[in-house]
Structure 1
Amino acid sequence: MTSPRTHTGTRALFATGAGLALTAALTLTGGGTAGAEARAAGPTTVTPAGHYFKAKLTGKATFKAGPVTVTCTVSGSDPSADGGANNLVPGAPGNHNDAGPVSSAITPPTYSSCTSSQAGVKAAITTSGSWSVALQYGAPTTATLGMPVGGFVVQTSGLASCTVTAAPATAADIVGTFTNGAPSTLTITNAMVPIKVVGGFGCPTTATSSVFNATYEVTDATDPSSAITVTG
Structure 2
Amino acid sequence: MTHRLTPRIPRTPVALGTGLATAAALALAGAGTAAAEPAAVAGPTTVTPAGHYFQANLAGTATFKAGSVTVTCTVSTSAPTSPLGTNANNRIPDAPGNTNAAGPVSGPINPPTYSSCRTSMPGVSAAITTTGTWGVSVQYGTPSTANLTIPKGGFVLKTSGLASCTVTAAPNGDATVAGSWTNGAPSRLSFSGVSVPVTVVGGFGCPTSSTSSTFSVAYNITDVTDPASQITVTG
Residues 41 and 138 in structure 1, CA contact (< 8 A), matched pair in contact too? no
Question: Which residue identity does 1:146 align to in structure 2?
Answer: T
User: Displacement of 1:66 after TM fit?
Assistant: 4.2
User: Displacement of 1:41 after TM fit?
Assistant: 1.2
**Partner residue, 1:32:** 11
TM-score by length of 1: 0.83
Output one character per residue of 1:54-86: Cα deviation in whole Å (capped at 9) or x when no partner. 000111111123443211111110011133211
Runs of 4+ aligned residues of structure 1 deviating over 6 Å after TM superposition are none
Distance 1:36 1:204 in 2: 28
Question: Which residue identity does 1:105 align to in structure 2?
Answer: P
Distance 1:36 1:165 in 2: 21
TM-score by length of 2: 0.82
* Identity fraction in percent: 62
SS at match of 2:19: helix
Q: Which has the larger radius of gyration?
A: 2
Q: Does 1:225 align with 2:209?
A: no
**Partner residue, 1:16:** none
Question: Which residue identity does 1:32 align to in structure 2?
Answer: R
**Partner residue, 2:169:** 166
Distance 1:174 1:130 in 2: 15
Structure 2, unaligned stretches of length 5 or more? 1-5, 13-17, 24-40
**Partner residue, 1:157:** 160
Larger CA deviation: 59-68 vs 29-38:
29-38
**Partner residue, 1:65:** 66
User: Displacement of 1:106 after TM fit?
Assistant: 0.4
User: Displacement of 1:35 after TM fit?
Assistant: 3.5
**Aligned Cα RMSD in Å?**
1.9
**Partner residue, 1:22:** none
Alignment of 1:58-207 (within 5 A): 58-83=59-84, 84-207=87-210
Counting matched residue pairs gives 205
Structure 1, unaligned stretches of length 5 or more? 1-27
Question: Which residue identity does 2:191 align to in structure 1?
Answer: I
Distance 2:160 2:11 in 1: 31
